[in-house]
Amino acid sequence: MDPQAHLSSITGTAVSNAEDSIYGFYQTQKPLIGLIRDGSGGWPVIPAHVELAKVDSQSGKGLQALNRLNSGIVKENLNTGRPILIDCCPILGMLSLNAIFACDRILVPVSADWLAVKGVLQVEKTLKALEHVFKKRLPRRFCDNPLRLAPAHVPRHLPGNQWSATVTSCARRGSRRT
């Protein structure tokens, strides 16, 4: 769901043709099951593509448009208990909202700097506003890199929603993979 397709690159599932990615599901109604590729970590992956950036502006509005991914997952019986990881861009546009409507839980990686925390507070505000649409509160966790100290105000604003995860560092200092 991320037009930058970092997860696709990391898992070795990047595709050159946009129709062979999740873009094909949104633009030409390709079945999700036909888009799944075997990722390097043994996980099935539906690759992303840079063309996904166009989907936000080309898609309709309303609950049906926001529920499209969830409908596809249910229709194709892909919700069989095995976790589905949906990598999203940090912008809460139509694609990210589709992922939110399709999920049972939300994991938001966040760096421990002031602007990132301010962004997380906005995400939390948006998710709270959507609770009336979901008719429930989606469990969510905000994780940080334990190699850096999280600001003291994070637990105060998001009590019980923090989760520390190990971030694998690349050989070059300053670049990370999650």
Looking at 48, 82, 102, which one is the last position of a domain? Answer: 102
Residue 65 tokens, joined? 């448009």
Q: Looking at the structure, do residues 83 and 34 belong to the same domain, yes or no? A: yes
For residue 178, give its domain range.
Answer: 105-178
- Chain Cα centroid distance, residue 177: 15
The one-digit pLDDT tens for each residue of the chain (178 residues) are 777 888 888 889 999 999 999 999 999 999 999 999 988 878 888 999 999 888 877 776 777 888 899 999 999 998 887 777 788 877 778 888 888 888 888 877 777 677 877 888 888 888 888 888 877 788 877 776 554 444 444 555 555 555 444 444 333 334 344 4
Domain count, the chain: 2
Q: Looking at the structure, do residues 152 and 66 belong to the same domain, yes or no? A: no
Q: Looking at the structure, do residues 45 and 58 belong to the same domain, yes or no? A: yes
- Output the pLDDT for position 155: 52
Q: Looking at the structure, do residues 89 and 116 belong to the same domain, yes or no? A: no
Looking at 102, 136, 165, which one is the last position of a domain? Answer: 102
Q: Tell which residue, 119, 131, 130, 129, has the closest CA to residue 157.
A: 119
Q: Which residue has the tokens 């600001």?
A: 151
Is pTM beyond 0.85? Reply is: no
Residues found in the chain: 178
Q: Looking at the structure, do residues 18 and 4 belong to the same domain, yes or no? A: yes
Looking at 79, 102, 125, which one is the last position of a domain? Answer: 102
Q: Looking at the structure, do residues 114 and 84 belong to the same domain, yes or no? A: no
Cβ count within 10 A of residue 86: 20
- Output the pLDDT for position 170: 36
66: helix, coil or strand?
Answer: helix
For residue 44, report the phi and psi dihedrals to the nearest 5 degrees: -75, 135
